Structures are given as C-alpha cells and as structure tokens.
C-alpha cells in the first residue's frame, strides 16, 4: 500500500501567506457546523483545513468554497483549538490570486510592503511621461515639453476632437484597461477550468461560455449586488453596509467614467463640467459613497480585529487605504479646482497616479476577489443544477445498468445457438 505524505512545501507556503495556524486543526467540525454559509454539498471550512494540512495545493486553489467564504469570523471565534479557519481561507485566497494571474512579479509588488514604492514609481512614470508628452508637463509643478508637436490645444482624429488633457489620460488608461481585462480573463479561465476538473463534472454536463453567461451570470450578479450571502452570515452584519456602499460607489463611478469618456472623446464635450451637471452630481454621490464605505470598513475591521474575529494583513490594509487615497485625492482635486488654487494640477496628477495603482491592482490584489467571487457564484449555481440533473437521472442510469447484464446473456445465448446450428450442418 502506497504511503501518503503531506506536501510540506505547500503547508509552509500556506503558513507564510497568513495561515500559520492551519496545523492546529484537529477536525472537530465545529467550524463547518457554525458557518451559516456552508451546505452539505459544499462544506467549509473543515474540508479546506484538512486539505491545507496535507498540502493538496491544486485541490485547494481550484475549490470554489474558498470564494464562497466571506470570512465572517464565526469559525474563528468558536474554534476550540485556535486554528482560525477564516484566516487560513483568507491566506488561501491570496495564494489563489497569485497562481491564477500572469506577470507574478506585479503580484509580489502589490502584496509585499517593500513593493509599495515600486508600484507608486510605476504610476508616477506613466502619468508624468504622458502629461509631459501631451501637456508639456504638470502645470504649476514642472515644465517638460518632450514632444512640442503633441502639445496642442486640440487634436483632430477623424471625427474626434481631443484636447491635450484627454490625450494624456487616454494614452495611459486605455492600454491599462486593455491589459487588466486580458489578465482578468486569463485568471477567470484558469479558475473555471480548475473548478470543473476538481468537481469532476462529466463532459455531457459541461456548457459553453455563452450558455453559462446567459444562464447563470445574471443571477450571480444580482446576488453580488444584493450582498445576499453577507446577509445570511449573521456575524458579518458589521461589514455588510460598508462593503455594499463601496460596491455601489464603484458601479456609479464606472458609469460616470464611461459617460465622460464617450462625451469627451467622441462628442467633444470636454471637462470640467459645472456642478449642476447630472453626471457631475452622480460623480459626487459616488465619491461620497466611496468615502463612507471605505471609512466604515476601516472602523469595523479594526473593531473586529480587536475582538479577535479576524486578523488583518498587509494585503487587506493596502487595498483599503489605496481606495481611500483615490477618494481623498479626487475630492481635494475638485475642491482645489473650484478655489482656483495653484496646487490643483499637482493634486490632479496625484489622483491620476492613485487611480492608476488601483486599476493595475485588479488582477493582483484583493480587488480580484470581486471578479473571482462572482465566478465562484456562477459555478456554484451551475454545479447545483448539474448535481440536480445527475440525481434526477440516477434511477434511469441504475435501471439501464441493471438491464445490461440481461441483454448480454441473451446475446450470448443467441450466439451459442448460432454456433450450434453451424456445427450440426
């Protein structure tokens, strides 16, 4: 009999990622019993703690239960061994983000304290060079007209009328958006394939991309928008409102950004727009929701950490304070512009840098949880239907299997009679 040995390297990797208590678990199942989100079909976090102790990396990182957990803290509070299952699953999610993405050095920059200056330097270089190319530098801060021919009031491209300010932003954020979309698509594809293989879904039940999107993405998004599973997790009520406000602020600000992009690039309605403009009003509402949401998260996470419900890592605080920096610099930019203050251009450039850092963080930080958790919701809905279909067809399959031996015996009897007739002839 082959002897099963744990993958010590993976166990140490889990411990280094923040799951240092994984070996304390002795499988009492208290965590799975108290978790309001665990089900008989998808039990967690007990199963993941066992897999983590043995170092089954591939099974762990392709397990949708990692993303169905909302780290409410009940399992950690009630664990009699202090194994802190919620923190272990948080560490596993961090590992999963790294494994799913390309250009892992960027993940390292975003998830290590020493990487913060490097990420800021990347943003500084891209924003500064673009503003220097198209605007001749940052007004009031420095003048660096790299290519004077590009520094013009307005550029005509086909039917588009683009100002130097618009060109400076487009030159940075359009390629950045394309890069982020490709990286996220690669991660989602890897995650989905891993979950399908790990779940052992038969080929007959596998669906194409568009069938999955049209059938399951809508319900999954509605669940995300409503924060339905946050509501089910009673211990998570302190996080529910802040997270929901932050999510809606991103949706509003995404809509505003897309509207401004189309209005400025296509129709030539360039910013700044007056405060009474409906889009401007919506933008300010989104900014207020963002600041309210992120400040609520900071206060509540600090309280939960003090109560021992969860521990916060550098990855947690980095994203939270980066979002806060985006909100604060955006608000200050608007105030300084209205006051005609000389620091306005510099604050605007700083705001663009923080937005750049936030955009680039989507595949490499906890921001990726929004994408991967939505993907896990889609898979959860899909796998439930698959299990239901397989269960419904189980009696039919059993009946067919029971009839098969009889058919085989009849065929053998017919073959025997035929061979007997040939012998007699």
Rg (CA), the chain: 28
pLDDT above 90 for 323:
yes
* CA contacts within 13 A on the Cβ side of 162: 22
Q: Measure the CA–CA gap between 356 and 142, rounded to whole angstroms.
A: 21
Per-residue pLDDT, averaged over 351-367, amounts to 96
Whole-number percent of the chain with pLDDT over 70? 88
Q: Is 381 exposed, middle or buried (0-12, 13-18, 19+ CB in 10 A)?
A: middle
Q: What is the pLDDT of residue 119?
A: 97
Which distant-in-sequence residues (6+ apart) come within 8 Å of 198 by Cβ?
A: 58, 59, 62, 63
Over 60: is that where the pLDDT of 261 sits? yes
* Percentage of residues in the chain having pLDDT higher than 90: 46
SS3 assignment, position 307: coil
Q: Which residue has the higher pLDDT, 110 or 142?
A: 110
**Alpha carbon distance 127, 168 (integer Å):** 8
**Does residue 425 register a pLDDT over 50?**
no
Q: Which residue has the higher pLDDT, 161 or 132?
A: 132
DSSP string, 316-330: HHHHHHHHHHHHHHH
Is the separation of the CB atoms in 45 and 86 below 8 Å?
Answer: yes
- pLDDT tier, 248 (very low <50, low <70, confident <90, very high otherwise): very high
CA atoms within 13 A on the CB side of 273: 18
Q: Which of the residue ranges 51-65, 281-295, 362-376 would you say has the lowest mean pLDDT? A: 51-65
Q: Return the pLDDT at 304.
A: 78
Strand partners, 224: none
Decide: 19 and 52 in contact? Cβ < 8 Å: yes
Where along the chain do its domains lie?
A: 8-100, 104-232+313-381
Strand boundaries in 281-400, DSSP class E: none
Query: Torsions phi, psi of 276, nearest 5?
Result: -85, -5
What is the reported pLDDT for 404?
60
List the beta bridge partners of residue 138: 142
**In which band, very low, low, confident or very high, does the pLDDT at 423 lie, cut at 50, 70 and 90?**
very low
pLDDT digits (tens, 9 = 90+) for 222-236: 988 888 777 777 665
Provide the pLDDT for residue 235: 60
Dist. CA 266–CA 261, nearest whole Å: 8
Structure confidence at residue 215 (pLDDT): 93
The CATH architecture assigned to 8-100 reads: Orthogonal Bundle (1.10)
């Amino acid at each position: 009999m082959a002897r099963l040995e744990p993958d010590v390297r993976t166990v140490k990797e889990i411990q280094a990622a923040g799951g240092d208590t994984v070996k304390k678990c002795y499988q009492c199942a208290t965590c799975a019993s108290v978790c309001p989100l665990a089900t008989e079909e998808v039990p967690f976090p007990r199963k993941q703690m066992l897999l983590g102790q043995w170092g089954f990396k591939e099974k762990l990182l392709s397990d949708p239960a990692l993303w169905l957990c909302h780290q409410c803290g009940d399992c950690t509070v009630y664990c009699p061994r202090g194994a802190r299952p919620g923190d272990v699953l948080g560490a596993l999610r961090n590992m999963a983000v790294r494994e799913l993405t390309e250009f892992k050095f960027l993940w390292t920059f975003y998830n290590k304290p020493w990487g913060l200056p490097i990420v800021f330097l990347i943003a500084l270089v891209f924003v500064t060079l673009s503003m220097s190319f198209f605007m001749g530098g940052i007004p009031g801060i420095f003048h660096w007209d790299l290519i004077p021919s590009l520094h013009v009031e307005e550029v005509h491209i086909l039917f588009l009328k683009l100002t130097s300010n618009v060109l400076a932003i487009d030159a940075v954020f359009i390629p950045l958006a394309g890069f982020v979309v490709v990286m996220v698509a690669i991660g989602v594809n890897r995650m989905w394939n891993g979950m399908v293989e790990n779940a052992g879904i038969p080929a007959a039940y596998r669906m194409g991309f568009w069938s999955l999107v049209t059938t399951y993405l809508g319900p999954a998004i509605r669940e995300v928008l409503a924060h339905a599973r946050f509501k089910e997790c009673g211990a998570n009520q302190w996080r529910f409102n802040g997270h929901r406000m932050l999510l809606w602020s991103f949706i509003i600000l995404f809509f505003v950004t897309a509207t401004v992009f189309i209005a400025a690039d296509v129709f030539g309605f360039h910013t700044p727009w007056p405060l009474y403009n409906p889009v401007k009003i919506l933008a300010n509402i989104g900014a207020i929701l963002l600041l309210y949401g992120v400040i609520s998260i900071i206060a509540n996470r600090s309280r939960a950490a003090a109560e021992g419900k969860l521990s916060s890592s550098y990855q947690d605080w980095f994203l939270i304070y980066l979002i806060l920096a985006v909100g604060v610099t955006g608000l200050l930019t608007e105030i300084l512009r209205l006051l005609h203050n000389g620091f306005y251009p510099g604050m605007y450039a700083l705001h663009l840098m923080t937005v750049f850092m936030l955009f680039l963080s989507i595949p490499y930080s906890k921001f990726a949880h929004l994408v991967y958790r939505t993907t896990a919701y889609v898979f959860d809905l899909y796998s439930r239907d698959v299990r239901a279909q397989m269960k419904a067809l189980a009696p039919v399959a059993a009946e067919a299997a029971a009839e098969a031996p009889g058919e085989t015996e009849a065929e053998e009897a017919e073959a025997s009679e035929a061979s007997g007739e040939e012998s007699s002839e």
